[in-house]
């Protein structure tokens, strides 16, 4: 088969001084950072849907992207022909992982059985290439939002048949993920949310979603799939109120339905900002509750209120993210999945390379800076010192549970005014962070 990306060589590391747009300036796969290779730290992944399906049409205009690997039909043959392009791309880029939704890789048939048969056929092609190249599935997922049957949601649809259909689809997608050696399975809420309370029984919908995910856990045990489940929060889009709003809301949901030991978070940068949070806030919360898992590495545009899914290029934002990843002990089964698409006006195949090279270099640079910040320890020491009043005396009594309101009242009455506050030094710390960038 002809190359999909003819004329584009394997992308090599040339160092920060290189002016070659098709070379890495910071990502040097084998370079050690904190004793581990950059490749093992960053575990980059290509999102099949954005790279190989998304043609960049928008509500105002027709598709723009040139995709020489695709004949524009929904045929099974065309689906199979897209697969070598994915592996060629990953190999040239030096990326070892990819992610997909079931419906990205194979077309739906006239019945669920036929749809599953189509999926099996394409999965055979994927498996074959995966075994030959060593490029494997980071996580799989089921598309429970594109087909009109999911117009009211999947697990939260008022139509119980749709719930059943979604369950069948997730079961199959999980099996396929397992067949391909996928390291995890992601649940993004899709249309699990609502537009109007006038037609919605929120309590029942939440219970249905909780039941659905518990059934998924049971099925996972049945088939002995050992990767983690990821839940991917997003506050809105396509519905107005998504139930999986942000990490904090999802954590409460997981607790209520007894799911915390089976799930970790897949945190998407653009979803964080849509929820009114910094990317790093979501990562920190997930880390603090011990459920950090994986990352959808993109960025939004703060001028726009939707999921623009742009490639990451903000070193400062990514540095704070990599600090969280390192503090969490690094990725295990997760990684940095580029859930992003090129801009509509960047329509040529080579633009996919520029986009990924930029994203990879940004995170590589961020990783090195985060490691420097950790090695210096100034930031961590400042934070530690700020809470020193809890390391002994009354603070230690509070943290250990020894204190109660009665003893604290006595303490406060005896002591009078609290010890003088110290400056939070926000600007000084911002300057410190900038000194590393
Ligand atoms: C959509 C989500 C989606 C998930 C996978 O906004 O980011 O792409 O990552 O279903
Ligand atoms: Ni995502
Ligand atoms: Ni998204």
Report yes or no on 2 lying in a domain: no
Tell me the two tokens of residue 387: 């809470």
> Are both 273 and 421 inside the same structural domain?
no
Report yes or no on 217 lying in a domain: yes
Give the 3-state secondary structure of residue 225: coil
pLDDT at 93 over 70: yes
150, 190, 234: residue to mutate for ligand 1 pocket, most atoms within 8 A of CB = 234
Q: Percent of the chain scored above 90 by pLDDT?
A: 100
Report yes or no on 125 lying in a domain: yes
Report yes or no on 1 lying in a domain: no
> Are both 63 and 158 inside the same structural domain?
yes
Report the domain count for the chain.
2
Tell me the two tokens of residue 401: 């549970």
> Which atom in ligand 1 lies closest to the alpha carbon of residue 234?
6
Nearest CA to ligand 1 atom 4: 188
Of 336, 354, 375, the position where a domain reaches its end is: 375
pLDDT at 1 over 70: no
| 307, 308, 379, 432 from 322: Cα distances, Å | 22, 22, 14, 17
Nearest CA to ligand 1 atom 10: 188
Report yes or no on 3 lying in a domain: no
> Are both 230 and 327 inside the same structural domain?
yes
pLDDT at 241 over 80: yes
Q: Select which of 41, 101, 277, 356 is catalytic.
A: 101
> Are both 420 and 285 inside the same structural domain?
no
> Are both 365 and 388 inside the same structural domain?
no
> Which atom in ligand 1 lies closest to the alpha carbon of residue 268?
7
192, 232, 310: residue to mutate for ligand 1 pocket, most atoms within 8 A of CB = 232
Token look-up 């009242």 returns 409
Q: Select which of 102, 104, 339, 361 is catalytic.
A: 104
Mean pLDDT of 281-301: 98
Look up residue 265 and give its DSSP letter: E
> Are both 319 and 381 inside the same structural domain?
no
Nearest CA to ligand 1 atom 5: 188
User: CATH number for the domain including 331?
Assistant: 3.20.20.150
Separation of CA 139 and ligand 1 centre (Å): 12
Separation of CA 78 and ligand 1 centre (Å): 23
51, 140, 186, 188: residue to mutate for ligand 1 pocket, most atoms within 8 A of CB = 188
> Are both 219 and 264 inside the same structural domain?
yes
Nearest CA to ligand 1 atom 3: 188
Report yes or no on 428 lying in a domain: yes
Separation of CA 148 and ligand 3 centre (Å): 20
Q: Percent of the chain scored above 70 by pLDDT?
A: 100
For 185-231, how does the pLDDT look when each residue is reduced to its tens digit (9 = 90+)?
999 999 999 999 999 999 999 999 999 999 999 999 999 999 999 99
For 116-137, how does the pLDDT look when each residue is reduced to its tens digit (9 = 90+)?
999 999 999 999 999 999 999 9
pLDDT at 276 over 90: yes
In this prediction the pTM is: 0.98
Mean pLDDT of 34-43: 98
Tell me the two tokens of residue 182: 């996928």
Report yes or no on 184 lying in a domain: yes
Separation of CA 339 and ligand 1 centre (Å): 7
> Are both 364 and 392 inside the same structural domain?
no
Of 324, 356, 375, the position where a domain reaches its end is: 375
> Are both 401 and 272 inside the same structural domain?
no
101 is catalytic: yes
341 is catalytic: no
Token look-up 């087909």 returns 147
14, 23 contact by CB (below 8 A): yes
Nearest CA to ligand 1 atom 6: 307
> Are both 394 and 350 inside the same structural domain?
no
pLDDT at 32 over 90: yes
Ligand 1 neighbours (beta carbon < 6 A): 101, 141, 186, 188, 232, 234, 268, 296, 307, 339
Domain that holds residue 421: 377-434
User: pLDDT band at residue 333, thresholds of 50, 70 and 90?
Assistant: very high
User: pLDDT band at residue 52, thresholds of 50, 70 and 90?
Assistant: very high
Tell me the two tokens of residue 415: 């002591």
Give the pLDDT score at 101: 98
Neighbours of 319 (CB within 10 A): 23
User: pLDDT band at residue 293, thresholds of 50, 70 and 90?
Assistant: very high
d(Cα 65, Cα 45) in Å, to the nearest integer?
Answer: 21
Report yes or no on 42 lying in a domain: yes
Tell me the two tokens of residue 327: 């503090």
Separation of CA 377 and ligand 2 centre (Å): 33
Give the pLDDT score at 19: 98
Give the pLDDT score at 108: 98
Report the relative pairing of strands 292-296 and 23-24 from DSSP bridges: unpaired
Nearest CA to ligand 1 atom 2: 188
> Which atom in ligand 1 lies closest to the alpha carbon of residue 337?
9
Mean pLDDT of 359-366: 99
> Are both 410 and 425 inside the same structural domain?
yes
User: pLDDT band at residue 96, thresholds of 50, 70 and 90?
Assistant: very high
Average pLDDT, whole number, for the chain?
A: 98
Tell me the two tokens of residue 53: 């399906």
Instruction: Point out the ligand nearest to the CA of residue 145.
Output: 1
Give the pLDDT score at 81: 97
User: pLDDT band at residue 2, thresholds of 50, 70 and 90?
Assistant: confident
Of 375, 408, 426, the position where a domain reaches its end is: 375
> Are both 243 and 143 inside the same structural domain?
yes
For 305-318, how does the pLDDT look when each residue is reduced to its tens digit (9 = 90+)?
999 999 999 999 99
């Amino acid at each position: 088969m002809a190359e999909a990306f003819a004329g584009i060589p394997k992308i090599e590391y040339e160092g920060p001084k290189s002016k070659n747009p098709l070379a890495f300036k910071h990502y040097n796969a084998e370079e050690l950072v904190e004793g581990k290779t950059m490749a093992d730290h960053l575990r980059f992944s290509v999102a099949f849907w954005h790279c190989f399906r998304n043609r960049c049409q928008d509500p105002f205009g027709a598709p723009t992207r040139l995709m020489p690997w695709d004949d524009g039909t929904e045929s099974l043959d065309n689906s199979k022909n897209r697969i070598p392009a994915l592996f060629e791309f990953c190999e040239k880029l030096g990326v070892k992982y990819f992610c997909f939704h079931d419906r990205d890789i194979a077309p739906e048939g006239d019945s669920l059985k036929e749809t599953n048969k189509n999926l099996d056929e394409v999965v055979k092609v994927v498996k074959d290439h995966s075994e030959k190249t060593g490029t494997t599935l980071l996580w799989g997922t089921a598309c429970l939002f594109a087909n009109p049957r999911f117009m009211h949601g999947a697990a939260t649809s008022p139509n119980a048949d749709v719930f059943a259909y979604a369950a069948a689809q997730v079961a199959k997608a999980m099996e396929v993920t397992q067949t391909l050696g996928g390291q995890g399975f992601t649940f993004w809420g899709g249309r699990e949310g609502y537009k109007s309370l006038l037609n919605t029984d929120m309590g029942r919908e939440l219970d249905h979603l909780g039941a659905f995910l518990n059934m998924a856990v049971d099925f996972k045990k049945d088939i002995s799939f050992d990767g983690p489940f990821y839940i991917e929060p997003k506050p809105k889009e396509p519905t107005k109120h998504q139930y999986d709003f942000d990490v904090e809301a999802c954590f409460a949901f997981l607790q209520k339905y007894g799911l915390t030991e089976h799930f970790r978070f897949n945190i998407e940068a653009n979803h964080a900002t849509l929820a009114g949070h910094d990317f790093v806030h979501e990562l920190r919360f997930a880390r603090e509750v011990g459920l950090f898992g994986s990352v959808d590495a993109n960025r939004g545009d703060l001028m726009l209120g939707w999921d623009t899914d742009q490639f990451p290029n903000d070193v400062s934002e990514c540095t704070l993210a990599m600090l969280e990843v390192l503090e969490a002990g690094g990725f295990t089964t997760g990684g940095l999945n580029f859930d992003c698409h090129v801009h509509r006006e960047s329509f040529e195949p080579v633009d996919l390379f520029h986009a990924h090279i930029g994203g990879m270099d940004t995170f590589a640079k961020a990783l090195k800076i985060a490691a420097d910040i950790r090695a210096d320890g100034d930031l961590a020491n400042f934070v530690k010192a700020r809470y020193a009043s809890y390391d002994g005396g009354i603070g230690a009594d509070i943290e250990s549970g020894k204190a109660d309101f009665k003893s604290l009242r006595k303490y406060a009455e005896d002591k009078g005014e609290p010890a003088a506050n110290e400056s939070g030094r926000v600007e000084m710390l911002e300057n410190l962070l900038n000194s590393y960038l």
